[in-house]
Amino acid sequence: MKIGIPKEIKNNEYRVGMTPAGVRELAAQGHQVFIEQYAGTGIGKSDDDYRHAGADILNSAEAVFAESDMIVKVKEPQAQECEILRPGQILFTYLHLAPDPKQAELLMRSGAIAIAYETVTDNMGRLPLLAPMSEVAGRMAVQVGAHALEKAAGGAGILLAGVPGVVAAKVVVLGGGVVGINAARMAMGLGADVTIIDKSIPRLAEIDGLYGPRLKTLYATTESVEENVFSADLVIGAVLVPGASAPKLVTKAMLPQMKAGSVLVDVAIDQGGCFETSRATTHAEPTYILDGIVHYCVANMPGAVARTSTYALTNATLPYILRLANLGWKNALRDDIHFRNGLNVVNGAITCPAVAEALDIRLQQSEKVFS
**What's the predicted TM-score (pTM) here?**
0.89
Other beta carbons within 10 angstroms of residue 150's beta carbon come to 17
126 is in an annotated binding site: no
198 is in an annotated binding site: yes
Asked if residues 269 and 96 have their Cβ atoms less than 8 Å apart, the reply is no
220 is in an annotated binding site: no
298 is in an annotated binding site: yes
Terminal C-alpha separation, the chain? 24
Catalytic residues: 96, 270
Chain center to CA of 272 = 12
> What's the rounded Cα separation, in Å, for the pair 239 and 347?
31
178 is in an annotated binding site: no
Domains 2-111+306-369 and 131-299 share a fold: yes
Residue 7: what pLDDT?
98
- List, in sequence order, every residue forming a beta bridge with 237; answer none if it has no partner: 174, 266
Write out the chain's pLDDT in tens, 371 residues: 999 999 999 888 999 999 999 999 999 999 999 999 999 999 999 999 999 999 999 999 999 999 999 999 999 999 999 999 999 999 999 999 998 999 999 999 999 999 999 999 999 889 999 999 999 999 999 999 999 999 999 999 999 999 999 999 999 999 999 999 999 999 999 999 999 999 999 999 999 999 999 999 999 999 999 999 999 999 999 998 777 788 999 999 999 999 999 999 999 998 899 999 999 999 999 999 999 999 999 988 999 999 999 999 999 999 999 999 999 999 999 989 999 999 999 999 999 999 999 999 999 888 788 86
* Whole-Å CA distances, 320 to 76, 214, 325: 18, 38, 9
340 is in an annotated binding site: no
Amino acid letter, 89: Q
Instruction: Report residue 343: phi and psi, to 5°.
Output: -70, 115
45 is in an annotated binding site: no
Asked if residues 136 and 144 have their Cβ atoms less than 8 Å apart, the reply is no
Residue 242: what pLDDT?
76
Residue 246: what pLDDT?
85
84 is in an annotated binding site: no
> What's the rounded Cα separation, in Å, for the pair 197 and 217?
6
Residue 30: left if φ>0, alpha if ψ -120 to 50, beta else—which one? left
* Whole-Å CA distances, 300 to 13, 219, 237, 297, 319: 7, 29, 15, 9, 23
* Whole-Å CA distances, 116 to 72, 199, 339, 344, 346: 11, 26, 10, 6, 12
The DSSP annotation for 67-96 comes to H-SEEE-SSPPPHHHHTT--TT-EEEE---
> What's the rounded Cα separation, in Å, for the pair 322 and 26?
7
Q: Could you please state the CATH topology (level 3) that the domain comprising 131-299 is classified under.
A: Rossmann fold (3.40.50)
> What's the rounded Cα separation, in Å, for the pair 105 and 85?
13
In sequence order, which residues have a C-beta less than 8 Å from that of residue 304 and are 6 or more positions away? 12, 14, 140, 283, 298
Indicate the domain borders of the chain.
Answer: 2-111+306-369, 131-299
86 is in an annotated binding site: no
Q: Counting beta carbons within 10 angstroms of the beta carbon of residue 164, is it exposed (0 to 12), middle (13 to 18) or buried (19 or more)?
A: exposed
Q: Give the CATH architecture of domain 2-111+306-369.
A: 3-Layer(aba) Sandwich (3.40)
User: Mapping DSSP to helix (H, G, I), strand (E, B) and coil, where does residue 354 land?
Assistant: helix
In sequence order, which residues have a C-beta less than 8 Å from that of residue 301 and are 6 or more positions away? 136, 137, 140, 141, 144, 267
